[in-house]
A = this chain, B = another copy of it.
Amino acid sequence: MRDVSGFRFAGVSAGIKANGEPDLGLIVAELPVATAAVFTSNRLPAAPVVLSRETLRASYGRTRACVVNSGNANALTGHSGVRDARRMQQATADGLGVPPEQVMVASTGVIGVPMPMERVESGIAAAIREARPSGFSDFARAILTTDKSVKMAVESAAGAPLLGCTKGAGMIAPDMATTLTFVVTDAQLEATSLQRSLGHAVETTFNRIAVDGDMSTNDMILVMASGLGVRPKLRPWTDALTSLLDDLARQLMRGGEGVHHVVAIEVRGAPSEDAARRVARAIAVSPLVKTAIAGEDPNFGRILAAAGTAGVPLTGDRLSLDVDEAPLLRSGAPVVEPEGEARARAVMQRPEYTIALDLGIGRASARYLACDLSHEYVSINADYRS
């Protein structure tokens, strides 16, 4: 993994997590760098989300650092939570000798518990001391919560490297996994272009994982571009960013709680992209489809019934359905062939496959990523106090 010029990274154990795992991460840019971000649309955003949104605006998209803690979400913590997020920002700014409005802040972990600010502040001091150009994987480790492993990805666009990492609370399928994602690059890009690229790239990746991925109280995707490298054309750069985020989104799904199957829901032949997206989403979020995926059961009735809930007019006898290379339905009629069902069952045992539904009424298409709803999911979430 090659370094991205202009940045240093750190990940340290500040004692926020009881188990002593790394829980404080820092990205430092040598100079103010172009920065873009998307934030949760949850109407009860955590204090660091509110603060970072303000910060991005106040800095005109040119920041110097991002400080992140895991182990405590600083969410639903009221006025003291706002104060604590500002203290994190100020401590980082003071330690680095930069203005506080150039420091982004993110948190993830338990909800509704006050932040252990002494530990956080000494962690920030340690992270500032330890930050180094090759520290990205330390950073990537420090942002994890219930994740089973570090999730990183690399891309490049016209010689500009992109380095990214992500974490999920694991509960990816439903609406409130906290997803934090960070991308750094040395490409020369204006903040406005960066923001536009990010909007595009998120739309078909993190916003298409089962439920609009942007719903936890703490979600944030941050991109920082140091400008020390090449100046890429925006189109291929956006493609590279999309590909990087797609890679990270898949890692997130695979690492989800109790997930054994990551399934792409491809809807084709739709009258519009929006219609395709709505149908794909209805299938991806259906608990009955998700349990059928868990049971490795090619139950086309559930898939079609879910498609019918999207509010998009459908014509039953135009529908075709496949799981990877196994056809289930042609022009609305079940495909009856020797060993057809056995073939479909075999596909559904794969860790990753595609459910392709052709609506036969247009030319637009869209894709969602779905996963199974399994016993582990229920166990983890019925017994775990987040």
Contacts and interface: CB of A to CB of B under 8 A. Distances in A.
Interface of A: 41-45, 75-76, 78-79, 110-112, 171, 173-176, 215-217, 282, 286-288, 291-292, 294-295, 297, 299-302, 304-314, 316-317, 332-334, 373-375, 377-379, 381-386
A292 B382 contact: yes
Contacts of A379: 375
B378 A378 contact: yes
Given A43-B311, A308-B43, A294 B378 contact: yes
Given A291-B378, A295-B383, A381-B292, A313 B174 contact: no
Contact of A286 (B44, B111, B176): B176
A100 B293 CA distance: 42
A302 B112 CA distance: 10
Contact of A287 (B45, B300, B332, B381): B381
Contacts of A286: 174-176
A75 B301 contact: yes
A376 to B, nearest CB: 9
Q: How many copies does the complex hold?
A: 2
24 contacts: A42-B309, A43-B307, A43-B308, A44-B307, A76-B301, A76-B316, A78-B333, A111-B301, A111-B302, A112-B300, A112-B334, A171-B287, A171-B288, A173-B287, A174-B286, A175-B306, A294-B382, A295-B383, A295-B384, A297-B382, A299-B385, A299-B386, A301-B386, A374-B382
Given A294-B378, A305-B217, A308-B217, A314 B111 contact: no
A308 B42 contact: yes
Given A216-B305, A295-B381, 12 more contacts: A43-B311, A76-B332, A78-B316, A78-B317, A111-B302, A111-B304, A174-B287, A176-B286, A291-B382, A292-B382, A297-B385, A302-B386
A309 to B, nearest CB: 5
Contact of A176 (B44, B176, B217, B305): B305
A170 to B, nearest CB: 11
Contacts of A301: 75-76, 110-112, 386
Contacts of A306: 175-176
Contacts of A79: 317
A350 to B, nearest CB: 17
A305 B42 contact: yes
Nearest to A279: B43
Nearest to A176: B305
B171 A382 contact: no
A43 B312 contact: yes
A310 B212 CA distance: 12
Given A174-B288, A314-B44, A111 B305 contact: yes
Contacts of A374: 378, 382
Contacts of A386: 288, 299, 301-302
A112 B300 CA distance: 8
B381 A378 contact: no
A76 B304 contact: yes
Contacts of A292: 381-382
A111 B334 CA distance: 11
A287 B47 CA distance: 24
Contacts of A45: 308
A294 B310 CA distance: 28
Contacts of A112: 300-301, 334
